[in-house]
A and B are shown apart, each in its own frame.
Chain A
């Protein structure tokens, strides 16, 4: 090639690696070992809960299987039924390990179930408020403000006092308590996103409103929504346990983690710690692992903290 050539062959630059947003998100999420570990722990908990009937030594809800003679046995004792109570028994002679496994089922179903319904209700209302604006927005947001000005525990207590006990009512109470968080989050994000150029562009193209909301606005509101949902699942699980502890949640025959802990309260002062201690640990691990995941999700999804 002659040295006087005006336009030389372009030097191939190293092609930059193109990452899809999802790949980028996964690789950034995987950067934190703690969050990854927490995710694995959480998945294990889910598996235990799902397969509890097959792996638990005992069905703790079947009163016929419980032997009152085995009541309040220390961890590691071999019971009348011939198997070892690794985590001890409660006053009914219920194997704590089985009780915890079954209790996790209730906690997870209640937590995830209420979070999903609340997310759908809250996100829809939040989106409606942001997109419709005006009076609709005012009414919805007043409701949100009212709901949020009430501490969760208080609203939940009231609703349970009106409706009575039981898993369904706990879930209803949790949904009522939670929807406002989603609504506020989605509305806030949607309002910001709405003013962005791409929405204006979509509106200029006269795309149908439904399409703009679901294809353009909603996907961009997802990151904060996911973060809120993660945190809310953990909160719902904790709140259900609290309500059960106060005696307003699940019935005594099918104890959740909170009720197992409450049952151990009176024996605690006499040093029989395990009835309250181990369900509490299970509850703690569940909530911590969800919170760790959520916490890291927030860091990864928050563009303001990106370098």
Chain B
């Protein structure tokens, strides 16, 4: 179905429509991404939030078309710059990757090749996409390293990844993502493995970059507090589906889906001192044995008989969608 937000005139950078990605394992088909739709506007940041196993990372890899066997995209569209990436050829995808869509990975210790120097890893990225002299590419690499806040980039170019700290490595990875000034960056929990102070620095850096270059960002995280200060829109994923989708203000202040509500309740800072932390009872269901109907029903305090039906994604409030039969409308101050 057509997501209604954001409702601006310019076409969004990325439109994901009913995306389905499945893994075909020994135990059966695992629908890791199931009917996921969202838009990312130009220069906007979308926070893709969910627990591990909710399908948020697979969604990111699906956009990059980097889902490996035994997984594959089984349906839907990924519209990017007027092209459906699901149907793009491998060579077309190769030219888009790292050039117009870049990705930053979760663990900075693992994303850079340990046996290649930083300059090699940066220059090859440029030479993969355009005819550029080694010297010019080196110049650009140096400038980009400076841009992400790496001191004395000239020396650092000659270094190997193990000579960098985790935070510095992630900056290098971000610099590599920025080399071609992409239209879209898919950032998969890029700050999770870092110290909180470094995390803050990198968040600020990325926010600045997105604002100045007009790059759109999909920020994948399990941490609501990270996206609260960073994102324009939020999509909350649960068991391979989007549970709730809307602007940051709408979703965080008036959560509609009981799952979002539960997530917000379990963030320590949002509770009053002395109040016990609320938590969501039960465990994330296995994608192999989902109950029929709403996947959250077994953990949901508001579940009813109707929840055994599949809830549709619906625009329950203006520009605020949820996949729920019994959304939290009272708190949102709206009569049911």
Please give the residue numbers on chain A whose beta carbons come within 8 Å of chain B beta carbons, in ascending order.
1, 3-8, 10-11, 13-14, 16, 307
CB neighbours (8 Å) of A14 from chain B are: 289
Q: How far is the CB of B121 from chain A (nearest CB, A)?
A: 25
Which residues 13-27 of B sit at the A interface, judged by CB distance below 8 A? 25
B308 at the interface (CB under 8 A from A): yes
Q: How far is the CB of A300 from chain B (nearest CB, A)?
A: 13
Q: How far is the CB of B155 from chain A (nearest CB, A)?
A: 36
Q: How far is the CB of B308 from chain A (nearest CB, A)?
A: 6
Contact B297 A8 (CB under 8 A): yes
Contact A13 B304 (CB under 8 A): no
Q: How far is the CB of B311 from chain A (nearest CB, A)?
A: 14
Contact B298 A4 (CB under 8 A): no
CB neighbours (8 Å) of A307 from chain B are: 25, 70
CB neighbours (8 Å) of A13 from chain B are: 285, 289-291, 298
CB neighbours (8 Å) of A7 from chain B are: 301, 303
Contact A5 B298 (CB under 8 A): no
The residue that B292 contacts in the complex, of A3, A6, A8, A11, with Cβ under 8 A, is A11
CB neighbours (8 Å) of B204 from chain A are: none
Alpha-carbon distance between A8 and B304 when the two chains are bound, in angstroms: 5
Size class of B's contact patch? 20 to 34
Contact A1 B305 (CB under 8 A): yes
B302 at the interface (CB under 8 A from A): yes
Contact A4 B304 (CB under 8 A): yes
15 pairs of residues in contact across A and B, judged by CB atoms under 8 Å = A3-B304, A3-B305, A5-B304, A6-B303, A7-B301, A8-B297, A8-B303, A8-B304, A8-B307, A11-B298, A13-B285, A13-B289, A13-B291, A14-B289, A16-B288
Q: How far is the CB of B57 from chain A (nearest CB, A)?
A: 16
Q: How far is the CB of B285 from chain A (nearest CB, A)?
A: 7
Question: Can you add 9 more A-B contacts, CB < 8 Å, to A8-B303, A11-B291?
Answer: A1-B305, A5-B305, A6-B303, A6-B304, A7-B301, A8-B304, A10-B298, A11-B308, A307-B70
Q: How far is the CB of A169 from chain B (nearest CB, A)?
A: 47
CB neighbours (8 Å) of A5 from chain B are: 304-305
Q: How far is the CB of B201 from chain A (nearest CB, A)?
A: 32
Alpha-carbon distance between A11 and B293 when the two chains are bound, in angstroms: 10
CB neighbours (8 Å) of B302 from chain A are: 6
B-side binding surface: helix, strand, loop or mixed? Answer: loop
CB neighbours (8 Å) of A16 from chain B are: 286, 288-289
Q: How far is the CB of A33 from chain B (nearest CB, A)?
A: 16
Alpha-carbon distance between A10 and B307 when the two chains are bound, in angstroms: 11
Alpha-carbon distance between A13 and B239 when the two chains are bound, in angstroms: 15
Alpha-carbon distance between A5 and B305 when the two chains are bound, in angstroms: 8
Alpha-carbon distance between A14 and B306 when the two chains are bound, in angstroms: 20
Alpha-carbon distance between A249 and B198 when the two chains are bound, in angstroms: 67
Contact A3 B289 (CB under 8 A): no
User: Closest residue to B286 on the A side, CB-wise?
Assistant: A16
User: Closest residue to A27 on the B side, CB-wise?
Assistant: B26
Those 3 A-B pairs whose CB atoms lie nearest each other, nearest first: A11-B291, A14-B289, A8-B303
Contact B301 A6 (CB under 8 A): yes
Provided the pairs A10-B298, A11-B291 are in contact, do residues A3 and B306 lie with their beta carbons within 8 angstroms? yes
Q: How far is the CB of A5 from chain B (nearest CB, A)?
A: 6
Alpha-carbon distance between A4 and B303 when the two chains are bound, in angstroms: 9
User: Closest residue to A31 on the B side, CB-wise?
Assistant: B26
Q: How far is the CB of B23 from chain A (nearest CB, A)?
A: 9
User: Closest residue to A3 on the B side, CB-wise?
Assistant: B304
CB neighbours (8 Å) of A3 from chain B are: 304-306
Alpha-carbon distance between A307 and B301 when the two chains are bound, in angstroms: 35
CB neighbours (8 Å) of B298 from chain A are: 10-11, 13
Alpha-carbon distance between A237 and B293 when the two chains are bound, in angstroms: 60
User: Closest residue to A28 on the B side, CB-wise?
Assistant: B26
Alpha-carbon distance between A233 and B184 when the two chains are bound, in angstroms: 57
Q: How far is the CB of B206 from chain A (nearest CB, A)?
A: 33
CB neighbours (8 Å) of B290 from chain A are: 13
Alpha-carbon distance between A1 and B305 when the two chains are bound, in angstroms: 8
Alpha-carbon distance between A307 and B70 when the two chains are bound, in angstroms: 9
Contact A8 B301 (CB under 8 A): no
Alpha-carbon distance between A14 and B305 when the two chains are bound, in angstroms: 18
Alpha-carbon distance between A8 and B25 when the two chains are bound, in angstroms: 32
Q: How far is the CB of A88 from chain B (nearest CB, A)?
A: 49
Alpha-carbon distance between A207 and B308 when the two chains are bound, in angstroms: 49
User: Closest residue to A17 on the B side, CB-wise?
Assistant: B27
User: Closest residue to B298 on the A side, CB-wise?
Assistant: A10
Alpha-carbon distance between A242 and B285 when the two chains are bound, in angstroms: 58
The residue that A11 contacts in the complex, of B70, B297, B306, with Cβ under 8 A, is B297
